[in-house]
């Protein structure tokens, strides 16, 4: 049975599993609530977005807007730029013979450029780490059948740009780069006729670069956070019943000068606002880009099967791009090349450029040492503990019956997309459109839940 899609704004209704909304070329499929099986299309599920950070028999942590693929790619770019500066160093040294400049002047040119590149990588590699430390995971507890979302409760409006805004990134990067570049370049010309800054000027510029500018940057972050606290902004951990968690797959299209351009599919995992059906809680949830609707369904099915069937029912975590993974991949490829009689060094050189050892090392460093700092020590510690089997929460009767009917439809050859609004199809009421009491919450830094 194929149900005609409705054209309606997402915020105009409380979405339920199977809802399909369209607006022009944009689409939205609701995969929950209730978290019913998605059938053969999703298979056993897969961590296609590499969201899983940690899991055990009781809890599962999903990364919040952090891409392992992006971290790996950034590390690979680092290797290429490092190689560029090696070549650039050789080029600058050759200028000594062709442009009649001194070694000190040549080193100042190269040193200024290299230091600028160092600051650039500080902006790309180190500063994002500070942002990652503020992106708390979403934790699912299968025995309690709850999910812990970190929500930022809005307060009064703050008329200050966020430290993570592109405008502020550009301002601080320009300040650091200009002051640092002047210092390095002037050191190379010190004592010459073309001296840009005197000794006193160089000293003050160095102090600005190494002391004043960093102090202003950190001071601004502290000021911004303090003003937000005074304005009433605060973080809380909200405990959402598993059967209320909203998962929607969306496809958005953008119109450009050359015509429509596809942005692609995204999976959103959101905590609904029980007091305002059709809305989610502010500043919370997970969003991950996927290549297709099927990939979004596979990602959600992995989470659903963990919560409903346990850790043993889902596949192992996808490749984590760690140093161990890199070494295992190289060893496997070496054996394959030896069997086929091909030179392995060519493959190794190419992979070193694309999946460099440094990229794997830095990705592993971020996962093991940066991401854990996103939550305070002891975050929802008591809530996260395993329960005795007698204390486990049970699925609702509504979900059990709905899942049974959905599985029977799959056995008849139907798919999830054929079913349309699942609760409506099998005669259950849309309880999600009725306002309910707010979910239980604790301050973000609370040690217990």
User: What is the tens place of the pLDDT at every residue in 390-446?
Assistant: 999 999 999 999 999 999 999 998 888 888 888 888 877 655 567 788 898 888 876
Cβ atoms 220, 165 nearer than 8 A:
no
Assess whether pLDDT exceeds 50 at residue 8: no
107: confidence class by pLDDT, cuts 50, 70, 90: low
Assess whether pLDDT exceeds 70 at residue 320: no
Q: Tell me how crowded residue 406 is: count the other CB atoms within 10 A of its CB.
A: 23
190: confidence class by pLDDT, cuts 50, 70, 90: very low
The arithmetic mean of pLDDT across residues 163-192, rounded, is 67
Distance, CA of 397 to CA of 400 (rounded, Å): 5
Q: What is the pLDDT of residue 191?
A: 44
Q: Tell me how crowded residue 127 is: count the other CB atoms within 10 A of its CB.
A: 16
| Eight-class DSSP state of 438 | P
Instruction: Collect contacts of 9-15 with beta carbons under 8 A, ≥24 apart.
Output: 10/248, 10/278, 11/278, 11/279, 12/278, 13/277, 13/278, 13/433, 14/272, 14/277, 14/278, 14/430, 14/432, 14/433, 15/246, 15/248, 15/278, 15/432
Report the alpha-carbon angle 403-404-410, nearest 5: 85
Assess whether pLDDT exceeds 50 at residue 308: yes
Distance, CA of 275 to CA of 439 (rounded, Å): 9
Q: Which residues contact 397 (CB under 8 A, 6 or more apart)?
A: none
The arithmetic mean of pLDDT across residues 59-63, rounded, is 87
Q: Which range is least confidently modeled, 141-155, 180-194, 277-291?
A: 180-194
The arithmetic mean of pLDDT across residues 340-365, rounded, is 75
Assess whether pLDDT exceeds 70 at residue 116: no
Assess whether pLDDT exceeds 90 at residue 185: no
Assess whether pLDDT exceeds 90 at residue 376: no
What percentage of residues in the chain have a pLDDT greater than 70? Answer: 72
Cβ atoms 240, 271 nearer than 8 A:
yes
Cβ atoms 42, 298 nearer than 8 A:
yes
The arithmetic mean of pLDDT across residues 105-112, rounded, is 66
192: confidence class by pLDDT, cuts 50, 70, 90: very low
Instruction: Collect contacts of 100-107 with beta carbons under 8 A, ≥24 apart.
Output: 104/188, 105/188, 105/189, 105/192, 107/188
The winner for highest mean pLDDT among 18-27, 105-114, 160-169, 180-189 is: 18-27
Cβ atoms 66, 320 nearer than 8 A:
no
| Eight-class DSSP state of 383 | H
Cβ atoms 430, 424 nearer than 8 A:
yes
């Amino acid at each position: 049975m194929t149900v005609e899609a409705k054209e309606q704004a997402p915020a105009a209704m409380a979405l339920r599993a199977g809802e399909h909304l369209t607006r022009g070329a944009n689409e939205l499929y609701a995969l929950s609530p209730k978290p019913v099986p998605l059938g053969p299309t999703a298979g056993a599920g897969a961590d296609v977005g590499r969201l899983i950070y940690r899991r055990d028999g009781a809890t599962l942590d999903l990364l919040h807007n952090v891409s392992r693929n992006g971290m790996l790619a950034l590390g690979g770019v680092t290797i290429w730029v490092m190689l560029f500066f090696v070549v650039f160093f050789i080029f600058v040294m050759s200028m000594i013979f062709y442009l009649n400049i001194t070694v000190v002047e040549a080193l100042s040119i190269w040193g200024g450029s290299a230091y600028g590149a160092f600051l650039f990588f500080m902006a790309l590699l180190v500063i994002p780490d500070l942002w990652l430390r503020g992106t708390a995971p979403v934790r699912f507890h299968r025995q309690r059948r709850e999910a812990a979302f970190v929500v930022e409760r809005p307060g009064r409006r703050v008329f200050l740009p966020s430290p993570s805004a592109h405008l502020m990134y550009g301002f601080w990067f320009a300040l650091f780069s200009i002051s640092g570049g002047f210092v390095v370049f002037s050191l190379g010309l010190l004592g010459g006729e073309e001296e840009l800054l005197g000794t006193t000027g160089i000293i003050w510029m160095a102090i600005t670069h190494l002391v004043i500018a960093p102090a202003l940057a950190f001071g601004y972050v502290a000021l911004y956070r303090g003003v937000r606290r005074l304005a009433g902004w605060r973080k809380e951990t909200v405990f959402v019943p598993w059967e209320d968690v909203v998962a929607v797959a969306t496809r958005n299209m953008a119109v450009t000068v050359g015509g429509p351009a596809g942005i692609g599919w995204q999976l959103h995992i959101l905590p609904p606002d029980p007091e305002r059906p059709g809305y989610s809680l502010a500043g919370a949830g997970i969003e991950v880009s996927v290549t297709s609707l099927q990939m979004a369904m596979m990602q959600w099915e992995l989470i659903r099967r963990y919560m409903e069937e346990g850790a043993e029912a889902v596949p192992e975590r996808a490749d984590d791009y760690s140093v161990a993974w890199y070494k295992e991949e190289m060893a496997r490829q070496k054996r394959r090349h030896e069997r086929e009689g091909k030179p392995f060094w060519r493959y190794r050189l190419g992979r070193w450029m694309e999946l460099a050892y440094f990229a794997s090392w830095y990705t592993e460093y971020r996962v093991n040492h940066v991401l854990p700092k996103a939550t305070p020590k002891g975050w929802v510690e008591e809530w996260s503990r395993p329960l005795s089997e007698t204390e486990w929460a049970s699925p609702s009767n509504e979900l059990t019956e709905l899942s049974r009917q959905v599985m029977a439809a799959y056995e008849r050859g139907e798919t999830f997309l054929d079913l349309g609004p699942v609760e409506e199809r099998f005669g259950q009421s849309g309880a999600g459109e009725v306002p309910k009491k707010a979910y239980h919450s604790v301050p973000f830094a609370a040690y217990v839940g």
